[in-house]
Structure 1
């Protein structure tokens, strides 16, 4: 690689980094170049070659045909063998000043393999590929490279801010380049922007994104992900305690789920209606009927089911059963959004309420204190607000008793 070659030439000539850097570069900048963390400009490369007494071509990898290597790496990707991709490309991938389509694809594969292996330092390779695609009018290819980075920021590293910034970059860089005409791409972009914004507590802007998606779908008669868009939009109504709007949006979500035959979205509907009955109508009997329907259809998302069942049993006064159900609520890998995590953590609020009803005041205070501290780190949702109220009431009750 380029940095390694500069290092080899420098050591062969017995030069320190300060001596090679001279007046035009800093020692720190040269160190970044030699470690492969920064790429020199052509002017800087010519300067370094002059001080090393060699030609630029002696430092830059000779142009090779990497078509065979690309075919091999693409075959490994089909197998899901990202570790081998990472190892092979780490040893052979050139840092070439003249990027072509084959190298751009290899850079993209190296970045993707790194993401799969939780290596965030591969973004610069994704940027090299994206820059080549953009310079050559391959905007869809470039967007896919950046989109992959966004997905790993969100799904693997839970870095919602970086994820949203990447979406903003996609929207900015491809404005006027034809992607606005790709309705599916725009719907996908609006949905993911809304999801990230909710994680960042930007609820109003997130809701505006979802409304824009609904408007675009109705205008174009393209209904990509509309069941998810309406379902997530319903969260805002739930947050605002607007039962009528919540049911309207949930009904729309169900209609699109049936239309697209999305079995997972169809199955979850009774659980979402149970949430409505528990959190807005305070009608545990109706919630129980929905939960029985949900479990009869083949239950999944078990932590959310146990949470809702615990709330329902608590509302029905079946406190010991409620505590058993709530004790089965655990965090799981497939629920990663902060709002989903906060929902699961809200089980601690109801466990505290169960302990209170059972006369176990110390356990109730300990449970609500733990739940409030957990929820404090999440977006300030209705669950956090509930925890604060319960904690304050239980603390005041203990003070009165004392």
Structure 2
């Protein structure tokens, strides 16, 4: 870190002052030179004088890192970090190296908290296990300077990490900790953050099997979103509520919620929301109304978006539901061709509802291969889906996954 003398010299040069100009009538040019070269220490009176002429506070000169340095560093880091793509370990490590020399001496400020937040997230994304410590420091700083949105965001990212590891109970506990602290300290979260908190609590409740509580909170969150005109995550909430209605066999409500999602799509004009609607309707027709032709029509509406590169979604969302539709229509050759493009669950799929839906599609893929007598391949696919679903909550999809696995296993055993 820069010494006091170096900080004075750097600020003087930034302001294009000569030694003589900064020294003024209270210091000699020689004395100021000695201070800048750390050969002499200024008195507090002299330090106040130097700080005044530099246009800063004396406390800023005494800090290990000047606020201007931190601001400049954050500007550089934000620009660089925003360009990093998922899985870009090299540039994540470069981001970490940019921040690392300053970490231990960061003061209590927004810039410091933001740098620690980015440092923590970059460490996690790069596979470095020490990410929690800087995240906790960022949380403390944001709390102390009353930046509650940023404080809450540290809990969101931590719960997301737990969810990525399918540790849904820990993710739920993390968000509950934020809720309890906010209530105990009487934090006044704005409507946006209050809505986000309710959203995360509801999806984690559904993830751990607190089905009725989660479903009710989603319903309340949708009502509050309209009341407060806060539509963050509204597409997700409609989709989750529609899934719940399907599971409950309340098809009138499912249709209503999908229609509401379509109305929201007209409002925002986002291709991502279109993709949600097409796959949701295809799933609805395949699994619940058994209108496989309609399901195929809906999923084919997805294809132009994918071909144009208008959406970021993995192609698996298209091919898994298309393969299922074709299989259920008895068009086995076409189903197999579609399923060959469906090889994995996309990395952004984290919720048990979605994971089980994908694994059910893998079960249909296994049945398709079994239809062509490729039992070994069919068995490996069915086993993968079965094992991947065992620790997740019970939903109707799980029954199909288990039935398929044991059916194909039985065929293998009798050969």
TM-score, normalised relative to structure 1: 0.72
- Note if 1:207 corresponds to 2:228: no
Please report how far the alpha carbon of residue 386 of structure 1 lies from its aligned counterpart in structure 2 after TM superposition. 0.7
Q: Secondary structure at the match of 2:302?
A: helix
1:280 aligns to 2:288 (yes or no): yes
Q: CA deviation at 1:280?
A: 0.7
2:402 aligns to what SS in structure 1?
helix
Pick from 94, 106, 115 the counterpart of residue 124 of structure 2. Answer: 115
CA drift at 1:63: 4.4
Q: Tell me the residue number matched to 1:178.
A: 188
Q: C-alpha offsets along residues 88-130 of structure 1, whole Å, 9 cap, x if unaligned?
A: 443343368x856665455444334433433342323332332
Alignment of 1:305-320 (within 5 A): 305-320=318-333
After TM superposition, list the pairs within 5 Å mapping 1:326-345 onto structure 2: 326-331=339-344, 332-345=346-359
- Asked if the contact 1:330/1:344 (under 8 Å) is kept, the reply is no
Q: 1:87 aligns with which of 97, 100, 109?
A: 97
8 Å CA contact retained: 1:285, 1:316: yes
Residue deviations 1:8-53, cap 9 Å, x none? Answer: xxxxxxxxxxxxxxxxxxxxxxxxxxxxxxxxxxxxxxxxxxxxxx
Q: Deviations over 1:268-307 (max 9, x none)?
A: 3232212111101112122222233332455554212211
Q: Distance in 2 between matches of 1:393 and 1:279?
A: 20
Residue matched to 1:259? 267
| Partner residue in 2 for 1:40 | none
For structure 1, the residue ranges without an aligned partner over 5 or more in a row are 2-61
CA contact (8 A) 1:243 1:276 kept: no
Compared CA separation, residues 244 and 107, structure 1 to 2 (3 A): same
2:402 is aligned, of 362, 381, 388, to 388
Query: 2:130, 2:240 → 1: CA distance?
Result: 32
Verify the 8 A CA contact 2:109 2:145 in the aligned structure 1: no
Closer/same/farther in 2, CA of residues 128 and 354 from structure 1, 3 Å limit: closer
| Residue pairs, 1:359-374, within 5 angstroms | 364-365=378-379, 367-374=381-388
Q: Give the deviation of 1:188 after TM superposition.
A: 1.8
Residues 1:250 and 2:234 aligned together:
no
Q: Where does the alignment leave 5 or more consecutive residues of structure 2 unmatched?
A: 2-61, 82-91, 308-312
| Alignment TM-score, normalising by the size of structure 2 | 0.70
Q: Which residues in structure 2 correspond to 1:207-226 (within 5 Å)?
A: 207-226=215-234
Residue 145 (structure 1) aligns with: 154
Determine if contact 1:66/1:103 at 8 Å carries over to the other structure: no
**Structure 1 Cα separation of the partners of residues 243 and 269 of structure 2:** 22
The CA deviation at 1:247 is 1.6
Alignment of 1:304 with 2:317, yes or no, is yes
For 2:78 and 2:374, how far apart are their aligned partners in 1? 56
Residue of structure 2 in register with 1:236 after alignment = 244
- Cα gap change, 1:154 to 1:320, in 2 (>3 Å): same
Q: Sort the Cα spacing of 1:283 and 1:72 in 2 relative to 1 into closer, same or farther, 3 A.
A: same
The residue matched to 1:346 in structure 2 has which SS?
helix
Alignment counterpart, residue 138 of structure 2, candidates 91, 114, 129:
129
Q: 2:58 aligns to what?
A: none
Offset of residue 267 of structure 1:
3.7
- Give distance in 1, aligned partners of 2:144 and 2:314: 45
Deviation per CA, 1:217-254: give whole Å up to 9, x if none: 23334333322210121121233343322221111111
Question: How far apart are the structure 2 equivalents of 1:398 and 1:112?
Answer: 46
Asked whether the 8 Å contact 1:375–1:383 carries over to 2, the reply is: no
Q: Is the 8 A contact 1:115 1:149 kept in 2?
A: no
CA distance in 2, matches of 1:163, 1:398: 39
The residue that corresponds to 2:41 in the other structure is none
CA RMSD of superposed structures (Å): 3.2
Q: Is the 8 A contact 2:123 2:131 kept in 1?
A: yes
Contact 1:73 1:85 in 2 (8 A): no
How many residues are paired up? 337
Distance 1:204 1:324 in 2: 40
